[in-house]
Chains A and B, each alone.
Chain A
Amino acid sequence: MAARARENRAGIYRLLRVISIPLFFGAWELVSRSGVVNEFLFPPPSVIAQALFDWGMHGQLVLDIAMSVSRVVVGYIIGATAGVAVGIATARYPALSSLLTPVFQILRPIPPIALVPIVILWLGLNEPGKYFLILWAVFFTVWISAHLGVQRVDPLLIRAAQALGTPEHRMLRELLLPGALPYIFVGLRTSLSVAFYTLVAAELAGAFAGVAYRIDIAHENLRIGLMMAGLVVLGVISACLDLAFEGWARHAMKWR
């Protein structure tokens, strides 16, 4: 009996999960069209879908997405690679850590968004400026997670590896990197969302294409449906990347 009840409940939960998103949009459509709110300022999903469709038809959607994603990907990959490399180095060489950590600790708390004006002065409104802002945002988070991760590798495992004759130059690949991986993944994942915040700030400050840029343009033209379509696109891209990341992390750390 109990098993039957549990099965029924599991079925209900599954159903709720399936109707969750349609229900949300349905309620939104109703509220928006009911006249309780201003339909112009709070357009229903059908209007947003129309705006999204038009955006796609005029060919800018693909370009905007491509520009935004390429900015995130380039800035993220450079920032994350540098963060992991420097983090491992500062964890392994105390002299380097003593030299760099104080400076990094001053630079790290500066919100990347605050750097937008000065970066525009230095690098203009081109792509390198946007890469720079995103890599700056990603670097420090990844650096500190890699640094802590390597430092917190179980000393017992290090001794075990030494007693098994692991040469010093193979310690990194055999022991420190896999041992630090759980920490590094946390840093990489956190900085992925930080990269998106920074992307939005960078595109709002000035760009010639991009999803957040399109939101800004739609704002100036009071095309509220398009603005909200932009938000939807940002949300979907970000969620897809996060999902892909989670799948990769689960595969890479299936030993946990």
Chain B
Amino acid sequence: MGAACDEVALMSGPLDIALCTTQGQDVPGPIVPDAAPAPARGSIAIDNLSVIFGQPDKEFLAVDRVSFGIKPGEFVCIVGPSGCGKSTILNAVAGFEAPTEGMVTLDGAAITKPGADRGMVFQQPGLFPWKSVRANVAHGPRMAGRSDREAYRLADQYLEMVGLARFASNYPKTLSGGMQQRVAIARALVNRPSVLLMDEPFGALDAQTRAMMQETLLRIWADIRATVIFVTHDIDEAIFLGDRILVMSASPGRIILDIPVTLGRPRSADISLDQAFLSIKKSCLDIIRHESLLAFERQT
């Protein structure tokens, strides 16, 4: 990670240097002391899921009979062209979108509405602008009925984890996009969700910040071991992060490839030159090209 990290550190100041040095060879113990190791919860089953948008006379099939399961603690990336319905699947797991057909279950229970057991990180940070960074992170624990004091203690602990403890009393607007997204991750994780849902969370960031955020995310995930569903259109990002990649077709969205990522962990930035990395990337690109050709032929 040396070169890439130094570059980012130079660009974004002492805070990110601190983040970089917490990684590396001598990996410290869990940063969040009471984080549970390898949870038994967080198992997701998506069974024959279809989602149709719009009125009966003008329907749009966004997701077409998708089925897959995710093991507790697994990091699954969904890639596909824009508009393929990958966010719709994520929203169905989050409880924002009701299935038109099929079932989505978390640890055996059907998902009917949003809840704190499924942390959500969007492409935009979505921080509450009228709350300080600390109050943003403390929001979840407060809603869960913890005392303000306890909620703020937890918030500080998770801000420490994402390296933003110094900015706890700032308002979100004073933070850069990457820092805001780190607050959003801390805010989702402070609820100790069994599942973390991420909808192109680094899509709006510049390349250096994005690389930085990917490594930070892996480091945090190594501690919390929640199930992660990570939606992206960036295949490199998906391979770098995931245990497994689901490739979706263009609309209507179906899963056309389910491929395990056979790379060890912890991973560093130069893994993208690894032979295994390249062969996974080739498989993904081949099937995406094949799919695009089919779609192209259907149009003409």
Contact = CB atoms under 8 A, between A and B. Distances in A.
A178 B143 CA distance: 16
Interface string B94-122: 11100000000000000001111011101
A139 to B, nearest CB: 26
B191 interface: yes
Contacts, number: 67
B140 interface: yes
Contacts of B116: 163-165
A256 interface: yes
Contacts of A255: 129-131, 171-173
Contact of A181 (B124, B130, B188): B130
A174 interface: yes
Interface residues of A, number: 22
Interface stretch (A33-41, A110-118, A152-160): A152-160
A165 B130 contact: no
Nearest to B91: A159
B171 A164 contact: no
B119 A178 contact: no
A255 B253 CA distance: 41
Contacts of B113: 162
A157 B128 contact: yes
Q: Which of A154, A164, A178 has the most CB of B within 10 A?
A: A164
Nearest to A167: B143
A253 B126 CA distance: 18
A174 B151 CA distance: 15
B134 interface: no
B144 A165 contact: yes
Contacts of B95: 162
A164 B187 CA distance: 8
Interface string A79-120: 000000000000000000000000000000000000000000
A174 B139 contact: yes
A159 B96 contact: yes
Interface in B242-262: none
Contacts of A253: 130
A163 B143 contact: no
A170 interface: yes
A42 to B, nearest CB: 50
A175 interface: yes
A166 to B, nearest CB: 5
Contact of A164 (B124, B129, B139): B139
A161 B184 CA distance: 12
B128 A175 contact: yes
Contact of B122 (A159, A181, A254): A159
A49 to B, nearest CB: 46
Contacts of B184: 160
Give the bracket for the number of chain B residues in contact with chain A.
Answer: 20 to 34
A163 B126 CA distance: 11
Given A178-B130, A253-B130, A163 B144 contact: no
Nearest to A163: B120
Interface string B154-173: 00000000000000000111
A27 B113 CA distance: 70
Contact of A163 (B129, B130, B188): B188
Given A159-B96, A159-B114, A165-B115, A256 B126 contact: no
Given A159-B114, A159-B122, A160-B120, A165 B128 contact: no
Given A164-B140, A166-B143, A156 B118 contact: no
A181 B95 CA distance: 28
A166 B184 CA distance: 16
A156 B126 contact: yes
Contacts of B187: 164
Contacts of A156: 122, 124, 126
A163 B131 CA distance: 17
A174 B115 CA distance: 16
Interface string A137-180: 00000000000000000101101111111110010001100110
Nearest to B171: A255
Contacts of B127: 160
Interface string B221-265: 000000000000000000000000000000000000000000000
B152 to A, nearest CB: 15
Contacts of B139: 161, 164, 166, 174
A178 B128 contact: yes
10 contacts: A156-B122, A156-B124, A156-B126, A157-B126, A160-B128, A161-B128, A164-B140, A164-B188, A254-B171, A255-B173
Given A166-B143, A255-B172, 5 more contacts: A162-B114, A163-B94, A164-B187, A178-B128, A256-B173
